[in-house]
Structure 1
């Protein structure tokens, strides 16, 4: 695993409707330590997903740079695993073949990639789903497959763009708990984008609040791990920090 560094990151684009250039991200500098879980929150349109897409290599920065370890990001790469909101599974592939797809693209023989895929499916409690197809799974199970597919490639950095936004509240809480458990076992460096303040505080070591494409504030989350909703939600620190982050987001 490696750390992630954003240096003076800018992103502007030309808005055809407005007929002018728009600044989506302005002079964002941020360092995520190796093995750290950082969540980014902020109002709609503040630049959260734009930052993640630049880190993933899907969008070029207008100015500034992104580094994984000490290596500049020039485009998409296996050192960054991405988990999307909409699952993004191949419907014609079984679960085990979905999880092993990135390994296949790297030229890993099928017996080895199946072994690796089964190891990660077991990590997420999905062993019995290996030979099923995505349309045979619930939304929550599909998103767990999406998470382990990203993890199976052993990326240095895991990028998650509101991955639990499309599931119901109870499933979301379960997925959040599973993610913290898996993260504690594997200790990937994580950049997690969300609009849900409670989710950010529950999951992260540190929460970044964005406003108008800039970092408004960084808030450390000193809540002990492991974390479970039935205990964390009653803690004074959780309530205080959630209120503090929410106030910052509303002011943004």
Structure 2
């Protein structure tokens, strides 16, 4: 039943909670955390929220979907403290991280495409060769391959007779992948994680499904950011209207 509080534009914690499938305690916790503006109190100490609080809650939950809980909470706290520019900076930084993720995905996809075997199933080049041959194929110094080995990017075997490093087909694949990503400016530790994924998947082809899932997540996050921006803008506009009304009252 709609009570007098609601008809007057005054809302209880449960009123805000029901609209989003939350508990009333969750709403109170969000207020205590600064995610919602401080609520007014009745003479008996009960919290009284307004449509502005409803906007704040909707904005927070929409931002969580695209930016994560920590960033969304920080954004709302900054706004509620009157630091809108600081809040916008947090959103800009989150968008920059998504762009970096997208570029990393594209670079990994490009690097893996370059590793697709030849039609006869063989990887051309220095498979089974020594360090000098592989370094020459990649246009790098043998010292670079030794550095990559120390970082775990390549794992050549030692020739049982000479003790020299020998690079098999998987080693050549890993070296080419590392070379592509290094050219893209990625640090060795990030490359090592990608190479480890290729190894655990048993090669490049099994990673295609994982890359599709990764791209789907990036796309979903981007769309969630767009949706969150609309709710966040609505909250900012509601705050501005309330401030103007108070100034003219």
What TM-score comes out, normalization by structure 1 length? 0.28
In terms of fraction of residues, the more helix-rich structure is 2
In terms of fraction of residues, the more strand-rich structure is 1
Q: Relative contact order: is structure 1 or structure 2 higher (C-alpha 8 Å, sep ≥ 6)?
A: 1
What TM-score comes out, normalization by structure 2 length? 0.28
Greater Cα radius of gyration, structure 1 or 2: 2
